[in-house]
Amino acid sequence: MIRTKTLLLVVCLFLPLSLFAGETPSPEGAKAYFIDLKDGETVKSPFLVRFGLNEQMGIAPALADWPDTGHFHLLIDKKPPNPNRPISNKNLHLHRGQTEATVELSKGMHTLQIVMGDYSHIPHNPPVMSERISVKVE
Ligand SMILES: [Cu+2]
């Protein structure tokens, strides 16, 4: 009996999330990329990150549910995000539709990855992300 109740509770907790998950389709061929940062590059902190997006997709501020659009996120020292969940607030959201950001990082090696999110900060399906690059901060 206790086991059944626990199972029911677990199902109830996860069902709404799974129904909500990553339903915004990404346009075919959409690509996000770093405009001038390259894998293995050495940079001086603070440095400017410029976000690139090819013509298949447009940029919209968060909360604007416009077709084939999204806003940029920068993941620093993180694994690729769960595609079914909103991108955490611990990451940088360019929620006003910005296309560049000044980033300050401690000295040493860091990984950077761009991930597009829809109006509700959830990655598109399939996700539109850059390569995860490594930079050395001096
Ligand atoms: Cu966001």
Ligand 1 center to 61 CA (angstroms): 9
> The domain spanning residue 12 has which CATH number?
2.60.40.10
* pLDDT tens digits for range 88-112: 999 999 999 999 999 999 999 999 9
For 42, other C-beta atoms within 10 Å of its C-beta total 8
**What domain range is 16 assigned to?**
2-137
Is 124 in a helix, a strand, or coil?
coil
Ligand 1 center to 3 CA (angstroms): 38
Domain total in the chain: 1
pLDDT score recorded for residue 22: 73
Ligand 1 center to 69 CA (angstroms): 12
Of 103, 119, 114, 97, the closest CA to residue 39 belongs to 114
* pLDDT tens digits for range 8-31: 444 444 444 444 557 899 999 999
* Residue 2 to residues 7, 10, 11, 15, 49, Cα–Cα distance (Å): 9, 12, 14, 20, 53
Ligand 1 center to 10 CA (angstroms): 27
Give the list of residues 6+ apart from residue 45 with CB closer than 8 angstroms, or none: 103, 104, 105, 106, 107, 137, 138
Ligand 1 center to 63 CA (angstroms): 9
Residue 58, pLDDT > 50, answer yes
Ligand 1 center to 77 CA (angstroms): 17
Ligand 1 center to 45 CA (angstroms): 24
pLDDT score recorded for residue 3: 55
Location of structure tokens 């990984």: 111
Instruction: State mean pLDDT over 60-80.
Output: 97
For 26, other C-beta atoms within 10 Å of its C-beta total 22
Say how far apart CA 115 and CA 70 lie, in whole Å: 10
Summary mean pLDDT of the chain: 89
